[in-house]
Structures are given as C-alpha cells and as structure tokens.
C-alpha cells in the first residue's frame, strides 16, 4: 500500500479508500451476510487500506464498526456523512447533530476522523457554510469529530459549481468529489483551490457504470458523437477507449480509470467499492500501479476535458 497526507489534516491515509456505499454496499446488495461483509472490510485493512468511507444512509456503519474492533482505533480512519436535506429542503440542524451521535453509536466509536455534510448542492451551500458548519465545529470541540468536510452531488451539479466555493473555503478540511476520465470538471473547479488551501480530497465516481457495465460506454459515446461532443470515430464499433490498452499501457478500461484518477495532481484518496474479495484485490492493484503513459493521459484530456456530467449515474444495485 502507498500512503499520503490528506490535505493538511495531519492524517496519513492509504491512497486507496474503501467506499462502503455505492452499488455494492460491502456486498450487502448481493446477499452477503454481516459476517461476510465484515470479513471483506478486514481483508481490505489487512492489505493496508486505512481509510473507510461510510454514511448514515448507506446502512453500513454497523459493519464498519464491527470490522474496526480488530485494530487499534488510531490506526484506522473512519469518515461518515449525515443527510442534510429532503429534496431541496434542508433538515433542521438538530437532525444533523443527531445523525452524528447515532453514527458514533452505530460505529461503536467515540469519534469519527472525518464528518461530512452529504451531497451539498450549489443552492444550499451558503446556508450549510453559515448555519450548519458552526454547529458541527462545536461538536468538533467536544471531540466527536476530528475534521469537517462535505461531499458534492455530481449528478445534480455536473458543472461542479459548488466545488468552486468549497475548494477555497478554509472551513472545510476534506472534500469528497466526483472525477473520472470523461468527467474532468474538478481540474478546473476544485483541485486548484484545494491544493492552494491544503484541503484533502477524496475521489468518488472514478469507476462508474459507464466503465463497468458492458455496452454502457458504447451507448454513451454514440449519444455524445450524435451531439457533436466527441469525434465520430469514438462511436464506431466496440471498445471506444481500447486505445488505452496496449503494451506499457492499461490492462483494461477499468484499470485505466483508476490509474488516471489516482495520478491526477490534487488527488489524495481514490475510493473503490466492492462486495467480492477478488474484485477488491484487482482494484487495489490498479490504484497502486504507475501513471498511464503521458501520451494516453494527454489524449484523454484532449478528447474529454470539455465534457460535463458524463457518466455520473447514481449507484445501481449490483447483485451479481
């Protein structure tokens, strides 16, 4: 495993973080028992993963809590999140505080390393910053959380508007954001600010259905080509990104996706999710590989840097 500093939090975290939500939810969506899901988390920790990302809404905090009982608490970093809204109506701040307390009970810990406001849209950012962040900072003073952050909602904010403000706001110590080979918005709207202000970054959406479900990439390319957003040759035949797979390059499109995001300047932690141990090991292997060849990265940037909102589908339940 490789480790890095999470912004200026002082946390030395694994570059690969285990995402405990998504389409798998630690295998819960494919029928794993609690014991099997706990074993999966412990396997990840045995392989050096020390950053676990969960949330109240994921329903996996109990699994994470049971898994971390096997290690000293200061050797693992747990991030969780509280739902802040119903639709576009903010929940009372008291509900968010109650969510934090319930997460601590469910996780079986006195504190979380990172506590985040979950899925903040641009229209609600100012209120979260001015009204809700101060309340959580008071909880931080009580020792319930070590670092305060927030997550974006990529499907509802494809241009990354919220990130423009958040990435330059010193109240946030960690930002969780969407980034992948065909959605590079953060290079303009987030990474310059987070690097300048020492804010840690945790990347989600690195591998989404567009890269992992057969046929999805071809369908997307056909639509984009019809709209004039990508060259026509990308919509001809199968495997439009197979130019990345070659001697000295990537082994697969998914391998390329992990490596592309991992080595983007401004990246700290790459989240991956799984419900299968073999898949877990394969993902880790890709994240730990060297960067893609410079010419491949340049080609991806040339082809897709202008796109916004591509491949940002919500998690799809994985049962296979």
pLDDT reported for residue 317: 56
Residue tagged 């469910």 (tokens)? 106
Q: Which residues are catalytic?
A: 58
> How do the domains of the chain map onto residue ranges?
3-304
- For β-strands 85-86 and 89-90, DSSP reports them as antiparallel
Q: What is the dihedral of CA 288, 294, 295, 301, to 10 degrees?
A: 80
Fold of 3-304: TIM Barrel (3.20.20)
Angle, vertex CA 128, rays to CA 80 and CA 163, nearest 5: 80
Report pLDDT digits (tens) over 32-59: 999 999 999 999 999 999 999 999 999 9
**Residue 125 — left, alpha, or beta (φ > 0 → left; ψ -120 to 50 → alpha)?**
alpha
Distance separating alpha carbons of residues 150 and 267, to the nearest angstrom: 16
How many other C-beta atoms can be found within 10 angstroms of the C-beta atom of residue 21? 20
pLDDT reported for residue 28: 87
Contact criterion met (CB below 8 Å) for 100 and 117: no
**Residue 87 — left, alpha, or beta (φ > 0 → left; ψ -120 to 50 → alpha)?**
left
pLDDT reported for residue 237: 87
| 235-264 residues labelled b (16+ CB within 10 A) or e (exposed) | beeeebbeebeeeeebeebbbbbbbbbbbb
Q: 64-71: long-range contacts (C-beta < 8 A, 24 or more apart)?
A: 64/20, 64/107, 65/106, 65/107, 65/108, 65/109, 66/34, 66/38, 66/108, 67/38, 67/41, 67/42, 68/41, 68/107, 68/108, 68/109, 69/108, 70/42, 70/45, 71/45
Contact criterion met (CB below 8 Å) for 201 and 175: yes
Angle, vertex CA 211, rays to CA 206 and CA 217, nearest 5: 135
Distance separating alpha carbons of residues 229 and 130, to the nearest angstrom: 38
- pTM of the complete model: 0.95
Residue tagged 């567009």 (tokens)? 210
Residues of the chain with pLDDT under 50: 320
Considering only CA atoms, which of 38, 42, 43, 47 is closest in space to residue 3? 47
Crossing angle of helices 294-304 and 253-262, in 10° steps, is 90
């Amino acid at each position: 495993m490789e480790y890095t500093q999470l912004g200026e939090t002082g946390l030395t975290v694994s570059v690969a973080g285990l995402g405990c939500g998504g389409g798998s939810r630690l295998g819960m969506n494919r029928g794993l028992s609690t014991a099997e899901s706990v074993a999966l988390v412990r396997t990840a920790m045995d392989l050096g993963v020390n950053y676990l990302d969960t949330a109240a809404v994921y329903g996996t905090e109990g699994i994470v809590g049971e898994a971390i009982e096997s290690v000293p608490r200061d050797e693992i970093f747990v991030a969780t999140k509280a739902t802040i809204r119903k639709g576009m109506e903010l929940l009372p701040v008291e509900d968010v505080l109650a969510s934090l307390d319930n997460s601590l009970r469910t996780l079986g810990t006195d504190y979380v390393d990172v506590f985040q406001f979950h899925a903040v849209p641009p229209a609600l950012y100012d209120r979260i910053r001015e009204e809700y962040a101060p309340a959580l900072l008071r909880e931080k003073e009580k020792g319930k959380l070590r670092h305060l952050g927030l997550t974006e909602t990529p499907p509802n904010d494809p241009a990354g508007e919220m990130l423009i403000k958040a990435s330059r706001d010193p109240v946030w110590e960690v930002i969780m954001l969407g980034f992948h080979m065909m959605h590079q918005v953060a290079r303009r709207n987030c990474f310059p600010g987070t690097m300048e202000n020492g804010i840690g970054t945790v990347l989600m959406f690195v591998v989404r259905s567009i890269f992992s479900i057969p046929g999805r990439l071809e369908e997307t390319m056909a639509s984009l080509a019809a709209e004039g957003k990508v060259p026509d040759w990308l919509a001809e035949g199968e495997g439009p990104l197979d130019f990345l797979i070659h001697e000295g390059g990537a082994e697969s499109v998914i391998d390329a996706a992990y490596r592309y995001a991992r080595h983007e300047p401004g990246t700290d932690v790459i989240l991956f999710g799984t419900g299968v141990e073999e898949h877990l090991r394969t993902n880790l292997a890709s994240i730990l590989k060297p960067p893609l060849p410079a010419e491949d990265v340049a080609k991806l940037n040339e082809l897709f840097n202008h796109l916004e909102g591509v491949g940002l589908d919500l998690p799809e339940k994985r049962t296979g």
